[in-house]
Chain A
Amino acid sequence: MSARIGIVGIGHTRFGNSSEYDLADVMAYAATDALVDAGILEQRRQVDQVFVANMASGLFCNQTSVASALVSRMDMEPVPAELIENGPASGASAIKVAYMAIASGMADVVLVAGGEIMRKVSGWQATDIVATMLHTEAEYNMGLTLPSFGGMFARLYMERYGCTERDLALVAVKDHANGALNKYAHVQGTCTIDAIADSETAHVVNNYVAEPLRIYSTCPVTDGAAALVLVNMDSPKAALFRKKPVRIAGIGSATDTHCVHNRKDPLRLDAVRIAGEKAYAMAGIGPKDVSFAELHDAFVILELAISEELGLFDRGRAYLAVREGATAIDGRLPINTSGGLKSKGHPVGATGVSQVVELVRQLRGEAEEGRQVKDPRYGMAVNFGGFGNNVVATICAKD
């Protein structure tokens, strides 16, 4: 791949409860911030293309065609705009499509905005809406939801590798320590291992959601938006921007069976592994070169499993790395420096974009004090759709 494509603008809303607001307005906040960061707010009509990532605004907030709505909110007509929907991996897919648009020569500057308003409905309804991405007859109609899959996956992982509920809690403690310092995170509070795992009252304070997953093993239901400005670094338009680009070094994506039961081993996340391998190959690096990673921990067990599929840790050993502190902000491979989905939140359409915003913040050295990775070179993000049936891996580099 010869194109050199970089990120020159980032924007992000404070994740949390934005249910009183319109989705297009929330996305417009993030998009405006990205254009300001890029220094092209006044020249925004010079953007060649807008891609909007969203999973289910029609179901969550009775609103469709949000790409058109966003362009209008931003006063950017006649810039072309399209919606990218790929479940909870919509955000990273939109970045991938933006990359392809620039690499193809159809565009030099692309605005990517991802957003979701999930809290207009109850938590139960949100869980049900997210579950519509499962196989209708074999899974959804049987009452399966994403937390139930997460619970079964966690149980099997624990039985096979010796991981315990306390190990899952350690992931949450680490994620919340990072999220507490992230100005964009939904839950900006720390938790202690004593309170959520060891104390006499922990079983109620940190109660089950889908056994063995507990509240502190599971991401909150969150609203929010994130945005990026991508540019062809070899285009004359690259001179428009005030910040040095963070280069997108590699992108890979892959699919897996829609039904989890059709996989030979339900603990193998082949789409993650293949997407990661593609991204590594495109970037010309391997797992040992990754300085930090943002991994899709909708359930903390996924942070462990994804990190193993990417080769960052040996299979069945990631929880031991967490015990040793290897994935903490000052560890040898910090993971989910933003707080991850667990603490930062998971507005499904925004998450993939938000993860890459975090890569850029870290690579620029703009993360808050206390959660800035020391001298990072490569950051990797994995955005996980379905229960691992559509995955996008992205690697960003500081050149």
Chain B
Amino acid sequence: MAIDELEKKLRPPELGIKPYPAKMITLASGEIMVVREARREEVGVLLGTVYPLIGVPTDYYDIVATRMYEELLGWYRYRTANEFVLVGAINGVIAGIVTSRCVDPKLGMSLHTLTIKRGQRVGAQLFAAKMEDHIEFQGEDEVYIVAESPIGWRRWMIEYELEDRSHLYPAVRHELGGVPTFVLTRKLWDAVKASKCTGIRPVPPEILATANKLIMPSEYPQIPGFKR
């Protein structure tokens, strides 16, 4: 794609995101979830997946979905620097999405985690994958994290025993709305990764192929009777 001079001026500088190798996880149900990087050309199916949840207030899906919708557009249109998107797919059907970005080579900024398929700890696995990406693959030492829902608070702040740096505001502040900033440090990650993060690599080609074409969910547990 040719990029004209004005568009160049609108785009943020990029650090160059290092690739995240795909992995697979056998969920408790026995279903295999492939976790991989999303590709920019898949933004349509990602937006279509997120959109129905914008109107769901339960468990704060509305704010998470709305903000993720914006983040996906910012990623697609090159309006957010160094953003990456991971997706979890079961037989190609999107089970969850995470968004995040690298601030600089040492600091990550966790954005959102959206679970579509519930009850299988999909969100927990995808959040762990996001942290793995930041620390193991991007090589960053810290990730700033906030929670916008009680579920997020329990999953991240408590289960990961994140470091509370909210008292250092405004010197330390997450980019999302000024809510209290917590931090996953490399040391904390090393302490929890064995119990929080899993996945088999390399993914056998026949399984990876199932996630090559992403599919929007035909049903949402959050929206009874949903019809696309």
Q: Which residues of A contact B28 (CB under 8 A)?
A: 189, 191-192, 195-196, 205-206, 215-216
Distance A215 CA – B195 CA, assembled complex (angstroms): 13
If the complex has contacts A122-B150, A187-B119, A189-B119, are A205 and B30 also in contact, measured as CB distance less than 8 A? no
**B27 contacts A by Cβ under 8 Å:** yes
Q: Which residues of A contact B30 (CB under 8 A)?
A: 190-192, 194-195
Q: Which residues of A contact B27 (CB under 8 A)?
A: 195, 205
Distance in Å: Cβ of A349 to nearest Cβ of chain B: 23
A-B contact pairs, 9 of them (CB 8 A): A189-B28, A191-B28, A195-B28, A195-B30, A196-B28, A201-B25, A204-B198, A205-B27, A208-B195
Distance A123 CA – B128 CA, assembled complex (angstroms): 21
**B29 contacts A by Cβ under 8 Å:** yes
Q: Which residues of B contact A196 (CB under 8 A)?
A: 28
For chain A, the count of residues having a C-beta within 8 Å of the partner chain is 23
**A63 contacts B by Cβ under 8 Å:** no
Q: Which residues of A contact B199 (CB under 8 A)?
A: 201
Say whether A201 contacts B150, CB under 8 Å: no
Residues of B143-157 whose CB lies within 8 A of A = 150, 154
**A141 contacts B by Cβ under 8 Å:** no
**B120 contacts A by Cβ under 8 Å:** yes
Say whether A205 contacts B198, CB under 8 Å: yes
Say whether B29 contacts A189, CB under 8 Å: yes
Distance in Å: Cβ of A97 to nearest Cβ of chain B: 36
Closest to B151 in A: A122
Residues of A238-278 whose CB lies within 8 A of B = none
Distance A199 CA – B28 CA, assembled complex (angstroms): 10
**A320 contacts B by Cβ under 8 Å:** no
**A207 contacts B by Cβ under 8 Å:** yes
Q: Which residues of B contact A122 (CB under 8 A)?
A: 150, 154
Instruction: Given A195-B27, A204-B196, output 13 extra A-B contacts at Cβ < 8 Å.
Output: A123-B154, A189-B120, A190-B30, A192-B26, A194-B30, A196-B28, A200-B198, A201-B25, A201-B198, A201-B199, A201-B200, A204-B198, A207-B195
Q: Which residues of B contact A187 (CB under 8 A)?
A: 119
Distance in Å: Cβ of B96 to nearest Cβ of chain A: 14
Q: Which residues of B contact A237 (CB under 8 A)?
A: none
